[in-house]
Structure 1
């Protein structure tokens, strides 16, 4: 777990998506660091944690909850996640509300994907391509990776183990909103791009419908990469919302 920013500030835990790593939050670290104690993990299989296998989302959530549980009682904690990281943030808030004050969910898939077995087969087939620079560059463009982070993305792609990639793809495809979500007592910010898949956008709207303290904001020009594609917009919305929902 990387810890940076203002050690005396409220905690902001940033959980990256699948196939990237903690470096995807560089713009957020620069923005929030002066005022927040920023926690940035590299999920199993990714970045500095590539030697640790990604097994299940539940295992990752348990580890994050244990880490937050070591903070002093009453610590103000905002958890923000993107894509796979948003699923983890959602599960963390729902299953361990005692360590999460509020949560930001960005672009979480909550209704699974069609033909998951076919998807898993394709991932197994194409996994070796992720280690090819030309393929990684194509993927980076679809994920809105900025030029200054391209080397980080290529390095992460080349070191992400095949079995971890398959496991996280399965976790993403099989994720469903936990029943305890409705009972999370904190405030919820939901962010998505209007150009993301329809099923994802509908699922995000359902998350808002299911939680009485939620706010949904859709960026009309964004695809599936909002924190990277429009970092200034993302940072301003998140910080303004945190300030408006201080405990």
Structure 2
């Protein structure tokens, strides 16, 4: 798994969504300042790790565990977006000793209805991701800034059908692990005000399952908070880091 690491004293693992890679955190990283040690992997199947197919959340969590142990052996704060937020939840639930706090951004934790037809349609549409006009339309829907559209197109063209189907299958079937309610670190759950109903239900479920967590609805945002409102994530992370007690 390819990993980019910044210099800094406060380690933050940033886990991207499906269909993109570590470049999506560029707007956030520009706001965080020199004290943050950004640890930014490209997950299997995406970006610079595209040659390694995405197999499962379980397999990916094992890889992310190795990343934290190598670059932040005393633990790191973790921020994840969409599928990456599901992985952040799993890390905190299964390996709390390595996770100082979590920012969960737009995680679907209530399984989507009718996964079979959804995946069948996705399989048929997969070749369209290699066409720039289609990818540009998707980028616009996701709120990706113009300066990052080329990165998105590159990733779309490189993502295999196998990776697309396995990652989306894991995403739409995800449920909260039983041990999520045992996590003791700081947790902030963010959801865009303009996201679909299932995402709001998921955010409420995620927060209510963990006493002491904070749920915030981000005004003016849809499923694009890291691009449209990176400052909200930055301030949330800074608050967690300041309040962290080893």
TM-score, normalized by the shorter chain, greater than 0.5: yes
Segments of structure 2 that go 5 or more residues without pairing to the other structure are none
- In structure 2, what is the equivalent of residue 28 of structure 1? 28
- In structure 1, what is the equivalent of residue 141 of structure 2? 142
Segments of structure 1 that go 5 or more residues without pairing to the other structure are none
Shift of 1:246: 4.5
Distance 1:72 1:109 in 2: 27
Shift of 1:71: 5.0
The one-character-per-residue Cα deviations of 1:47-75 (angstroms, maximum 9, x if unpaired) are 101100001011001111122234565x2
Shift of 1:221: 1.6
Q: Runs (4+) of structure 1 moved beyond 6 Å?
A: none
Change over 3 Å in CA distance of 1:224–1:117 after alignment to 2: same
Change over 3 Å in CA distance of 1:58–1:246 after alignment to 2: same
Contact 2:13/2:68 (8 A) holds in 1: no
Change over 3 Å in CA distance of 1:47–1:36 after alignment to 2: same
Shift of 1:233: 3.0
The one-character-per-residue Cα deviations of 1:98-141 (angstroms, maximum 9, x if unpaired) are 11111110000001111100001011000000000000000001
Tell whether 2:50 aligns with 1:58.
Answer: no
Q: Secondary structure at the match of 2:77?
A: strand
Q: Secondary structure at the match of 1:101?
A: strand
Contact 2:145/2:227 (8 A) holds in 1: yes
Change over 3 Å in CA distance of 1:238–1:10 after alignment to 2: closer
The one-character-per-residue Cα deviations of 1:10-62 (angstroms, maximum 9, x if unpaired) are 21000000101100000122222501111000111111011000010110011
Change over 3 Å in CA distance of 1:159–1:176 after alignment to 2: same
The one-character-per-residue Cα deviations of 1:203-224 (angstroms, maximum 9, x if unpaired) are 1112111112211111122100
Contact 1:5/1:29 (8 A) holds in 2: no
The number of aligned residues is 245
- In structure 2, what is the equivalent of residue 68 of structure 1? 68
- In structure 1, what is the equivalent of residue 103 of structure 2? 104
- In structure 2, what is the equivalent of residue 158 of structure 1? 157
Distance 1:71 1:52 in 2: 21
- TM-score norm. by structure 1 comes to 0.94
Contact 2:69/2:75 (8 A) holds in 1: no
- TM-score norm. by structure 2 comes to 0.95
Contact 2:39/2:71 (8 A) holds in 1: no
